[in-house]
A and B are shown apart, each in its own frame.
Chain A
């Protein structure tokens, strides 16, 4: 009996010890409170595309305000090092930064470059730090830039690349075959030429190629009531829910929001007044109008000369044909998908955001 009790006690002790060891880190963290802070929620961050540009502008004002004033007065180039060890260069009045021989040889500039007037950047150099100009920035061919901020306009040379972000208080123009990673924003307009790749664009107006002509709405359309759609399951709550596909015949007008658990096809020159959702995909034929959002659980294909006035969101990809208009000057909108392919002569108002990649077509 005694040995039984002993064994039971030993078993219990061994068990308690093993569990105790497992609990030691927990007890240590509980008492030491090394990671007891709440998770960081940045309340001031509102998702604004200009967030980094604004932060950098504040940094430039604080760090280089006086230097830029002097530069405007004497027009001389300056070099210096910030307290954190970061080297910077202020371009002279000519606007051409003074690139050292070693930088030319390495084809990379590790200094931050600033200009108090227009900046002219040389060809085939990689600028590893931010570039700022009180005036405009004109990039050379095959230039690679970490980030660009201009109080005026930005124009990139052919086959250039922006790695993080770019913001222009005026306009932004990319030459053909450029690659724009990160955020590109402008207060007036963005123009992307053929074969430009992009991720996030934001401006009051974005032209892909030459921009679209104003599409015209067809007249004499026949009306279709949402509840008369084949397979309409539920028409409460201001939308028609269809189990399966929706096909809107060409030159038809339909008012109200539409939801299909399958695909939605909007016929040629049809007009939908309301938001449209296709659980498995959306296809918009040429010349169609949608006065609302176009949401797709799969891909969204928009043929040429169509006008989508609300947000376009696709969980896979979006393709937009020639001469389409997305949004309008008084109702800017957002186009968002993993991949976006936009033909030339398309105009978008607001934001175009390709989470993985976007591309401007070349024909």
Chain B
């Protein structure tokens, strides 16, 4: 029974997810499927349970032998054992698999070890799945927290807005223009375009605007130094004296109230960072942008806000957000060796006793990748940086005395989220290997759970539920129909993330320096 579930459901998963490895493995053995069909009728106690191989009872074995013997021959299946003419003996194929254990005790230990590893992965996947459901249900039915969004009048702190810009001639003017129009005391707001080694007209455009607004725009041009946003921000921060530092990417177009909204949480002395919601504006370009729009909705509207509601670990996202300068300095400032400075700073602040606040209503448009290669590069950078943060901060996070158990668990799960793709692939390989090594008896009926949970982790049930909940909260019902296609986006991400994880370990082994890749822009300027 269990073996049958293994074969059928794993094959189903392989087909559903387009996993070529799994397809190849299962496609090679139609005979096993036939044997499995026969085993489907076996009493459960015989198919699953103990570690000792179980022979089918005679009444089933007979028909099994008939069925398999008619299909098998030593010529076309060299590895198979010929069917036995004796009806009392188990069918040939079952004999191969179950009556001849794969090896001595040592191999049995390996099988058991793999099975337990698979169990552990299943547990992990189930935890993530439950987490996704809990977040979505919280957003739909729970108490919503936006404690600072109502602060509209106050003695506002001084703010510096960094606009990270590397070859942003298409978009930089729009971003600075929008910031010049925001509703914030002008004498307390300084706009600093951080031009990081641009080779296009970015430098000239920034200077042109700064000349028109000399007291409000103070450009920072960086001609050399370590590449990457974190390195650029680190250099630019040296001259900053304001209490709050907000960071925007050059492709963002902030609304009038955004700076006040993002600054308001800093009246809470426990808040070290704040994050707003990014909304793709090039949604309609192609299927990829539409899928990314769904993904972003789920990520911000549901995931981030639920973590805020539940007092867990909302994440500072690097843009449409900001940090308290004193908190930043207290935890060591920007790190230029980090590929994802946002994750890195979130965890350093968290461990240092500073909270990150997510404000779902502080929305800002951004551009999402329009072709799969750019998307792949983006997700690989995120994965690499995130995994890097995981290595650096996991231990300190779990040991932090200021955090509750819930925050530690959520923080750890968030840190490990990009490790799940390679782990999931490992789970598939383990499931397939165990199936062929006869380890499925060890797995029992839980194999169904493995498959369901694996599929869920890829983004269908749990993550898809988050996306659907997000669409409902946003009131955009038409785009929910695209949900099944998101599986392709998740698959691409899975491949990219797995590659990035491998590359990170190679970098570490070969002591290679991590390289920051900028995400390509598509806008042509003037808000187009």
Which of A's residues lie within 8 Å of B, judged by CB?
1, 4-5, 8, 15, 19, 22-23, 25-30, 33-39, 41-49, 202, 233-234, 236-239, 241, 243, 257-259, 261, 274-277, 279, 292-293, 295, 309-311, 313, 315, 327, 331-334, 336, 350-351, 353, 355
A234 contacts B353, CB within 8 Å? yes
A310 contacts B267, CB within 8 Å? yes
Residues of B within 8 A of A234 (CB): 352-353
Listed stretches B107-115, B209-217, B283-291, B339-347; interface member: B283-291
Partner of B152 from the list A202, A236, A257 (CB cut-off 8 Å) is A202
Partner of B256 from the list A8, A25, A46 (CB cut-off 8 Å) is A46
B478 contacts A355, CB within 8 Å? no
A336 contacts B479, CB within 8 Å? no
Residues of A within 8 A of B123 (CB): none
Q: How far is the CB of A17 from chain B (nearest CB, A)?
A: 13
Interchain CA distance A49-B152 in the complex, whole Å: 9
20 new A-B contacts, CB < 8 A, other than A46-B257, A336-B150, are A4-B34, A4-B71, A15-B15, A26-B481, A30-B290, A36-B290, A39-B283, A43-B253, A234-B353, A239-B269, A241-B270, A293-B154, A293-B268, A295-B269, A311-B151, A313-B147, A313-B267, A333-B154, A334-B151, A334-B153
Interchain CA distance A315-B321 in the complex, whole Å: 22
Whether a CB of chain A sits under 8 angstroms from the CB of B476 is yes
Closest to A309 in B: B155
Whether a CB of chain A sits under 8 angstroms from the CB of B364 is yes
**Contacts A/B (CB < 8 Å), 9 sampled:** A35-B479, A37-B284, A38-B279, A38-B280, A234-B353, A238-B326, A295-B269, A313-B267, A334-B154
A334 contacts B152, CB within 8 Å? yes
Contact with A along B1-26 (1 / 0, CB 8 A): 00000000000100110000000000
Given the contacts A29-B481, A241-B353, A336-B147, A261 and B402 also touching, CB distance less than 8 Å: yes
Residues of A within 8 A of B34 (CB): 4
Q: How far is the CB of A81 from chain B (nearest CB, A)?
A: 32
Closest to B268 in A: A295
B283 contacts A36, CB within 8 Å? yes
Residues of A within 8 A of B478 (CB): 29, 34-35
Closest to A259 in B: B270
A237 contacts B284, CB within 8 Å? no
Interchain CA distance A196-B426 in the complex, whole Å: 64
Query: Top 8 A-B pairs ranked by shortest CB distance?
Result: A35-B478, A237-B330, A46-B257, A257-B269, A36-B284, A350-B153, A43-B255, A29-B481
Partner of B268 from the list A44, A46, A313 (CB cut-off 8 Å) is A313
Whether a CB of chain A sits under 8 angstroms from the CB of B508 is no
Residues of B within 8 A of A243 (CB): 401-402
Q: How far is the CB of A53 from chain B (nearest CB, A)?
A: 15
B313-365 contacts to A, CB under 8 A, are 324, 326-327, 329-331, 352-354, 363-365
Partner of B150 from the list A23, A274, A277, A334 (CB cut-off 8 Å) is A334
Residues of B within 8 A of A30 (CB): 287, 290, 482, 485
Residues of A within 8 A of B326 (CB): 237-239
Whether a CB of chain A sits under 8 angstroms from the CB of B30 is yes
Interchain CA distance A35-B471 in the complex, whole Å: 11
Q: How far is the CB of B313 from chain A (nearest CB, A)?
A: 16
B367-418 contacts to A, CB under 8 A, are 401-402
Residues of B within 8 A of A1 (CB): 71
Residues of A within 8 A of B71 (CB): 1, 4
Interchain CA distance A8-B71 in the complex, whole Å: 14
B155 contacts A333, CB within 8 Å? yes
A41 contacts B279, CB within 8 Å? yes
Residues of B within 8 A of A36 (CB): 283-284, 290, 479
Interface of A, helix, strand, loop or mixed by DSSP: mixed
A275 contacts B267, CB within 8 Å? yes
Q: How far is the CB of A349 from chain B (nearest CB, A)?
A: 8
Residues of A within 8 A of B477 (CB): 35
Residues of B within 8 A of A27 (CB): 485
A293 contacts B267, CB within 8 Å? yes
Residues of B within 8 A of A35 (CB): 476-479
Partner of A4 from the list B16, B30, B287, B484 (CB cut-off 8 Å) is B30
A44 contacts B270, CB within 8 Å? no
A39 contacts B150, CB within 8 Å? no
A202 contacts B290, CB within 8 Å? no
Q: How far is the CB of A320 from chain B (nearest CB, A)?
A: 16
Residues of B within 8 A of A336 (CB): 147-148, 150-151
A275 contacts B268, CB within 8 Å? yes
Given the contacts A39-B476, A43-B253, A336-B147, A26 and B485 also touching, CB distance less than 8 Å: yes
Closest to B327 in A: A237
Interchain CA distance A241-B268 in the complex, whole Å: 12
B256 contacts A45, CB within 8 Å? yes
Q: How far is the CB of A353 from chain B (nearest CB, A)?
A: 4
Interchain CA distance A53-B235 in the complex, whole Å: 45
Residues of B within 8 A of A47 (CB): 149, 152, 257, 260-261
Scoring B15, B30, B481, B483 by chain A CB atoms within 10 A of each residue's CB, the highest score goes to B481
Residues of A within 8 A of B436 (CB): none
Q: How far is the CB of B314 from chain A (nearest CB, A)?
A: 15
Residues of A within 8 A of B513 (CB): none
Q: How far is the CB of A66 from chain B (nearest CB, A)?
A: 32
Whether a CB of chain A sits under 8 angstroms from the CB of B281 is yes
Interchain CA distance A351-B268 in the complex, whole Å: 18
Whether a CB of chain A sits under 8 angstroms from the CB of B183 is yes
Interchain CA distance A234-B269 in the complex, whole Å: 13
Interchain CA distance A353-B150 in the complex, whole Å: 7
Partner of B145 from the list A45, A292, A315 (CB cut-off 8 Å) is A315
Interchain CA distance A37-B182 in the complex, whole Å: 25
Given the contacts A243-B402, A355-B150, A28 and B280 also touching, CB distance less than 8 Å: no
Residues of A within 8 A of B364 (CB): 41
Interchain CA distance A277-B261 in the complex, whole Å: 19
Partner of A236 from the list B256, B270, B330 (CB cut-off 8 Å) is B330
A38 contacts B330, CB within 8 Å? no
Whether a CB of chain A sits under 8 angstroms from the CB of B117 is no
A313 contacts B402, CB within 8 Å? no
B365 contacts A41, CB within 8 Å? yes
A39 contacts B279, CB within 8 Å? yes
Closest to B279 in A: A39
Whether a CB of chain A sits under 8 angstroms from the CB of B205 is no
Whether a CB of chain A sits under 8 angstroms from the CB of B506 is no
Interchain CA distance A5-B267 in the complex, whole Å: 70
